[in-house]
């Protein structure tokens, strides 16, 4: 298949691109490089520097690439920042997403896999979180993703634009070649999912026979203290702790159920332990100690 990866120079998009190419797909990447890195673009992919704010730019790129499907990773995704600057999140995650959908319709591309978030649920009534729980986001980031999911549902109904929306929390780890320039984050319990397992879920979604929403996770959760202790064990290094108050808009405990995508699409994560996730990230950082500045 020919896949058009929006945000393909970012952490998740770059590794999805790598695996798509390894499996024989043809990939074009569209990215403005504000959050991504040019060095994270796989040399086998065709790179187009552009911005979703520019409807004409995205339409032109789609017309030239003529893809079978779009993977949409481009977004602002920091909960704390969204609580300080909601306008940025609503403009980038909703309005710019609409530019992408309209450009897809104009060029005859009728299939999209959307990178969403379990933050659309807010503090859940129960864990693990399955797809039947009510959506009550408590930050503009989650609200913006939920709004775009609703847009997708209407574009499917009105324009027959087929979508799969994948909702997940903390992507972590690395492939052999690509990883994340990581920064300290949060104090809550989260469901950490290996980036390679996440990428494979996106690829499976390309063949979904229907539009659908799926939650992705391991079904378990780790606190920040547990993550730090695991990092100490894997790296053999002393790691100091700086404790800060919980961020506004951050639910305390979020764990996803993945039973639906396992049942319907056959997704089977291969790296479910925190040790495996952190070990892969550590290997990447040892190989690239300065990240993409190497």
Could you give the residue numbers annotated as active site?
Answer: 141
Residues 93 and 148: beta-carbon distance below 8 Å = yes
Task: Classify residue 56 by burial, with Cβ atoms within 10 Å: 0-12, 13-18, 19+.
Answer: exposed
Task: Classify residue 51 by burial, with Cβ atoms within 10 Å: 0-12, 13-18, 19+.
Answer: middle
Task: Classify residue 55 by burial, with Cβ atoms within 10 Å: 0-12, 13-18, 19+.
Answer: middle
What is the H or E stretch that residue 117 is in?
strand 111-117
């Amino acid at each position: 298949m020919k896949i058009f990866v929006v945000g393909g120079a970012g952490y998740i998009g770059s590794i999805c691109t790598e695996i798509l190419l390894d499996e024989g797909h043809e990939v074009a990447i569209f990215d403005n490089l504000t959050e991504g890195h040019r060095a994270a673009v796989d040399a086998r992919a065709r790179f187009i520097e552009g911005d979703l704010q520019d409807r004409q730019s995205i339409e032109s790129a789609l017309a030239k690439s003529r893809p079978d499907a779009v993977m949409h990773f481009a977004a602002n995704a920091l909960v704390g920042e969204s609580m300080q600057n909601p306008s940025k999140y609503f403009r980038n995650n909703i309005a710019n997403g609409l530019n992408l959908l309209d450009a897809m319709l104009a060029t005859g591309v009728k299939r999209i896999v959307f990178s969403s978030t379990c933050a659309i649920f807010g503090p859940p009534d129960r864990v693990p979180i399955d797809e039947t729980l009510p959506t009550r986001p408590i930050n503009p980031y989650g609200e913006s993703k939920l709004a775009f999911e609703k847009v997708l549902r209407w574009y499917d109904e009105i324009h027959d634009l087929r979508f799969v929306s994948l909702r997940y929390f903390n992507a972590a780890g690395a492939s052999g070649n690509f990883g994340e320039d990581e920064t300290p984050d949060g104090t809550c319990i989260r469901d950490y999912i290996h980036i390679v397992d996440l990428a494979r879920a996106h690829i499976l979604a390309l063949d979904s026979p229907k539009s659908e929403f799926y939650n992705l996770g391991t079904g378990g959760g780790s606190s920040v203290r547990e993550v730090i202790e695991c990092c100490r064990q894997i790296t053999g290094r002393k790691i100091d702790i700086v404790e800060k108050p919980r961020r506004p808009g951050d639910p305390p405990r979020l764990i996803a159920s993945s039973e639906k995508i396992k049942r319907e699409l056959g997704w089977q994560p291969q790296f479910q332990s925190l040790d495996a996730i952190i070990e892969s990230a550590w290997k990447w950082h040892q190989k690239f100690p300065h990240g993409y500045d190497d």
